[in-house]
A and B are shown apart, each in its own frame.
Chain A
Amino acid sequence: MDMGSISPELLLASLMVAATPILLAALGELVVERAGVLNLGVEGMMITGAICGFAVAVNSGSPAIGFVAAAGGGAVLALLFALLTQVALANQVASGLALTLFGLGLSSLLGQGYVGIKPPPVAKLDIPLLGDIPFLGRVLFSHDLMVYLGLALVGLIWWVLKYSRAGLILRAVGENHDAAHALGYKVVRIRVMAILFGGACAGLGGAYISLIRVPQWTEGMTAGAGWIALALVVFASWKAGRVLLGAWLFGGVTVLQLNLQAAGFAIPVEYLSMSPYLITILVLVIMAGDKSRAPASLGRIFHASQ
């Protein structure tokens, strides 16, 4: 074993990369949950986004078009969830599970011809000057565009939820859908839009895994990232800023255990691979006391009876 082979600079830089998929997915889910909807199908939407993005990027040769397709794929799957829960008034927990099972099946079917192919590479932004700063340049300023998009999204969602009228209405719908309806807000329409946004974000997160992080296509490659994103929203007490912190924490754990594996740490690889999931459980336990911020209408079915 060789601990010296782990460079803190590289570790932090790859932490930013490892955090991005769950950050994107968790931000989408945050918006969905603030609107009062619990979509447990994040894993399904992520994996669908992963294959849609991969396939389109391979066929078009453009990762950018791939990411757009991934967002679209995630949103289409989310639309199914929206139809089930907002139109057919189905139970959100069951529908979310259905979405995940469906997404896993769909992705492996779509991915049939893509195993073992390399996707077109995604360019890293070489930010002049900033990228040359020792240590920080490598850690913060030498990534691909999606990393920065994720960070920008954190700020945007924070601002919209806190200061804009749209954010106020979204929160109102999640807080008390009956009151929002009585004041004339279109509860179902607002929720459907939030669900679609959540799907698009999850799709982007999935494509980040298949196009940049790994980069190739294997069945079930999201390996629970969607579920970790869900846990992250709880961890973050439904606040955008804390989602970022959480994503870095999980990114850090993932990267660290991978590095330890590579360094030949003296315990079997399997036990190291368990660690992100165990940490997730641990974090859920620690954060479980703080339920105060959960949107009051979360998971409840809305039907305007009159």
Chain B
Amino acid sequence: MTTPLLSISGLTKAYPGVVANDAVSFDIMEGEVHALLGENGAGKSTLVKMIYGLVKPDSGAMALHGAPYAPPDPHAARKAGVAMVFQHFSLFEAMSVAENVALGMEEPPRLRDLATRIKDVSETYGLPLDPGRIVGDLSAGERQRVEIIRCLLQDPRLLIMDEPTSVLTPQEVEILFQTLRKLSAEGVAILYISHKLEEIRSLCDQATILRQGQNVGTCLPRETSAREMAEMMVGSSFAAPERASRAPGEVALEITGLSVASPSAFGTALKDIHLSVQAGEILGLGGVAGNGQDELLAALSGELPSDAGAIRLNGTPIGWLGPTARRELGLLAAPEERLGHAAAPDMSLTENAFLTGAQREGLTARGFIRWTAARAFARAIIERFDVRTPGPDVAARALSGGNLQKFVIGREVLQRPRVLVVNQPTWGVDAAAAAAIRQALLDLAANGAAILCISQDLDELMEISDRFGALNEGRLSEIRPAQGLSVEEIGLMMGGAHGMEVAHV
């Protein structure tokens, strides 16, 4: 029997109030594609941060090629041949591709030589990339290429990939997988983190499943059904959202020729968007991150003003109205970023309930706040949406992601919107909370509200939308009925492979 490339035994890491990893053990063999599977909050990130030297374990040990391995920092991990592609947070937008790559290397060559090597590697692996471009101007898929190339330039023995496909179209995913298979054939081990079961079944040789910080089992993904893996991951089964058949009513929200510039430096401008949503209908908008999702939500919530006629609510032009006036008319929104955008982290749930509920719930009287009414509204949200919290006086940041998201969505749903716009309603939320939120959206539509759901989770969109469209570089694709759409068709609507090409194997 050969020595495993990386052997993990009994790794434990505790944070105040939560054990992120509880005696986790498993092995990764050379050239193996090993899946690390688990829900949000199962402890996947903490585990890979320990392997990459960002976090020190409380106890337990690791061995690389049979020798003890305890990297004090990422520099040591990289020197040992461990590389990591992050899901977020590791690129510098205002810097060039070459500078970004140099920052992730231990002994980078001079920038000019580095640029040549970037070109070489990017051609070999079918990941075209111009070393001189500024990262802030790149698409999400291209940014990921920067991260991958940064790793490949150091000849890694183990490549960690954290949810790499969440920023890719289906076509791009297929190309990435070919690159990864090529690497694995060259003997590189890949630790692949995901919660997407079909992906893991098609790519990985081995899977380790984490639940609440514990290793609850391993399996051979090719021989295990997605359903079995899901049960190991979640631990219990819960009701899939129910979808009542409904007859769409009149057009509630209509967007015609909406074009606005992005307020942020590296944002995406919206270009000539046309769409309409009928009462009782859910319109799902897919697309890779950074293709105008935030801007569309801001344009609809009223944070980003546009021409009056570009947006109509039940026929009334509202493009120039601010958020408050739009809420009064019945157009409500829930942005992606929970902490800092949808809710103020340090304020209590009561204060956060007031944040958007002030007008429609009548929480003010001549400018003065009716705190008793606001608290009652917060309580109503907490009860109706099963938000787990000691009470409405708790600060928003003290809630878990799932609970805060239930609060944020519930806050809008309870205000009886005529049109509700949500962006990434279940991002980073555990499966049970996600199911509850999707059910709430379906129920709201069933009661006659028009819903525009922007999401990067295609499974979610297919589950709840009546019609589907995709955002790509600020433009909106044709909108088609969701039923019967194939993955290929969806991928093409999202922009296809964005100029990526298959690796030259």
Contact = CB atoms under 8 A, between A and B. Distances in A.
Interface of A: 165, 168-169, 171-172, 175-176, 178-185, 292, 295-296, 306
Contact of A182 (B75, B89, B102): B89
Interface in B30-83: 46, 49, 53-55, 73-75, 77-78
A189 B310 CA distance: 51
Given A175-B92, A184-B53, 13 more contacts: A168-B99, A172-B92, A175-B93, A176-B89, A176-B91, A176-B92, A179-B91, A180-B103, A182-B86, A184-B74, A184-B75, A184-B77, A306-B46
Contact of B92 (A179, A184, A292): A179
Query: 9 shortest A-B CB distances, which residue pairs?
Result: A184-B74, A175-B92, A178-B89, A179-B90, A184-B73, A182-B90, A184-B75, A179-B89, A176-B92
Contacts of B108: 165
A114 B119 CA distance: 64
Interface of B: 15, 46, 49, 53-55, 73-75, 77-78, 86, 89-95, 99, 102-104, 108, 265
Contacts of B103: 168-169, 172, 180, 183, 185
Contacts, number: 53
A257 B287 CA distance: 60
A172 B104 CA distance: 11
A299 to B, nearest CB: 16
Contacts of A306: 15, 46, 49, 54-55
Contacts of B77: 184
B164 to A, nearest CB: 15
Nearest to A178: B89
A184 B91 contact: no
A168 B75 contact: no
Contacts of B78: 184
B20 to A, nearest CB: 9
A255 to B, nearest CB: 36
B41 to A, nearest CB: 13
Interface of A is mostly: helix
Contact of B94 (A180, A184, A296): A296
Nearest to A297: B92
24 contacts: A165-B102, A168-B103, A172-B103, A175-B93, A176-B89, A176-B91, A176-B92, A176-B93, A178-B89, A180-B103, A181-B54, A182-B74, A182-B90, A183-B74, A183-B90, A184-B54, A184-B74, A184-B75, A184-B77, A296-B94, A306-B15, A306-B46, A306-B49, A306-B55
A177 B94 CA distance: 13
Contacts of B104: 183
Contact of B102 (A168, A176, A184, A185): A168
A37 B102 CA distance: 23
A296 B49 CA distance: 25
A181 B90 CA distance: 8
A78 B11 CA distance: 41
Contacts of A171: 92, 95
A171 B93 CA distance: 11
Contacts of A185: 103
Contacts of B53: 184
